[in-house]
């Protein structure tokens, strides 16, 4: 409301000044007096010419000239005053117009300002601050994730697992020999009639032990060759176009469906065999 009142007051002042230039009689009065002055001066010059023609006995003409001189002087003063009023009004009007267009318009715009620029600036600053904070958090999270990925160590995790579950994975106590009653024999005895049987059992145990050792080595070697990554579906490692544009890394592991199924079956067999 106050801004509207100021705007109305300034515009009314400008309108009043420009209207006065057209309605007030300052310039009309100046024009009229100047016309009268030109006319009176012309009549005075005409009388002076007549006086030159009649150099003697022209008292009546002399009084006429004096009368016209007084009239010219009087009209000249009135004309000068009217001209001054007209020039002052004209200067005031021009000053008012200049002030309105060079100063008041900017003031009116400032008065009509509802704080748009300040509000927009604060909103955008808050948005940018939030986005920058989110970007910083994302960068920090990616760095932490990269550090965690780089720190992956299967051997260390295995040793940690065994240490944390020591009771579950520690070697149990040996089975001790418990003789019956008063039997004093504590070692395997090989009497003549038992040598062949013990030798046969020894060979069987050695063969069985060798087979178990070979199976263990095969499982170990096969486990190192069959990777879990080979069992992941292509779609699981597919990167969207947006992600590809924002990252320079790409996944090159893309096994065929048949190979993936085969590797998955082999990996399951390995774990089932080990378990």
Among candidates 97, 21, 36, which has minimal Cα distance to 68? Answer: 36
- Residue 267: predicted pLDDT: 65
pTM of the model: 0.44
Q: Each residue of 147-169: pLDDT tens digit? A: 999 999 988 999 999 999 988 88
For every one of its 275 residues, what pLDDT tens digit does the chain have, with 9 covering 90 and above? Answer: 677 787 788 888 888 888 877 766 777 888 888 898 898 888 888 877 877 777 655 677 778 888 888 888 998 898 889 888 888 888 888 888 898 889 888 888 887 777 888 899 999 999 999 999 999 999 999 999 999 999 999 889 999 999 999 888 888 888 888 887 777 777 877 776 778 877 888 888 889 888 888 888 877 666 655 555 555 555 555 555 555 555 544 444 455 667 767 766 776 676 565 44
Q: Could you tell me which residues come within 8 angstroms of residue 251 by beta carbon, excluding any fewer than 6 positions away?
A: 237, 238, 239
Distances (CA, A) of 148 to 36, 143, 153, 250: 106, 9, 10, 19
Q: Is 133 in contact with 24 (CB distance < 8 Å)?
A: no
- Residue 251: predicted pLDDT: 46
> CA 58 to CA 56: how far, in whole Å?
6
> CA 136 to CA 125: how far, in whole Å?
16
> CA 83 to CA 70: how far, in whole Å?
20
Count of CB atoms situated within 10 Å of the CB of 100: 19
> CA 184 to CA 16: how far, in whole Å?
139
Among candidates 88, 71, 104, which has minimal Cα distance to 26? Answer: 88
> CA 73 to CA 1: how far, in whole Å?
56
Q: Could you tell me which residues come within 8 angstroms of residue 257 by beta carbon, excluding any fewer than 6 positions away?
A: 234
Domain ranges of the chain: 2-114
């Amino acid at each position: 409301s106050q801004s509207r009142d100021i705007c109305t007051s300034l515009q009314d002042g400008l309108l009043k000044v420009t209207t006065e230039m057209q309605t007030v009689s300052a310039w009309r009065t100046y024009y009229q007096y100047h016309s009268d002055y030109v006319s009176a001066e012309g009549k005075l010059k005409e009388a002076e010419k007549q006086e030159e023609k009649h150099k003697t006995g022209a008292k009546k003409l002399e009084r006429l000239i004096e009368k016209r001189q007084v009239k010219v002087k009087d009209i000249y003063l009135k004309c000068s005053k009217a001209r001054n009023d007209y020039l002052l009004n004209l200067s005031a009007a021009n000053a008012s117009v200049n002030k309105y267009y060079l100063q008041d318009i900017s003031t009116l715009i400032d008065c009509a300002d509802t704080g748009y620029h300040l509000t927009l600036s604060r909103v955008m600053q808050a948005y940018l601050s939030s986005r920058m904070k989110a970007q910083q958090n994302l960068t920090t999270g990616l760095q932490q994730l990269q550090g965690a990925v780089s720190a992956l160590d299967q051997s260390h995790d295995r040793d940690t697992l065994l240490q944390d579950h020591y009771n579950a994975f520690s070697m149990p106590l040996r089975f001790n020999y418990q003789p019956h009653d008063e039997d004093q024999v504590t070692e395997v005895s090989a009497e003549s009639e038992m040598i062949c049987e013990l030798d046969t059992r020894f060979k069987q145990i050695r063969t069985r032990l060798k087979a178990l050792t070979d199976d263990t080595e095969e499982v170990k070697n096969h486990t190192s060759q069959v990777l879990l990554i080979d069992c992941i579906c292509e779609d699981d490692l597919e990167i969207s176009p947006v992600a590809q544009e924002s990252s320079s890394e790409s996944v090159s592991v893309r096994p065929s469906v048949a190979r993936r199924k085969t590797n998955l079956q082999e990996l399951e067999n390995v774990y089932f065999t080990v378990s």
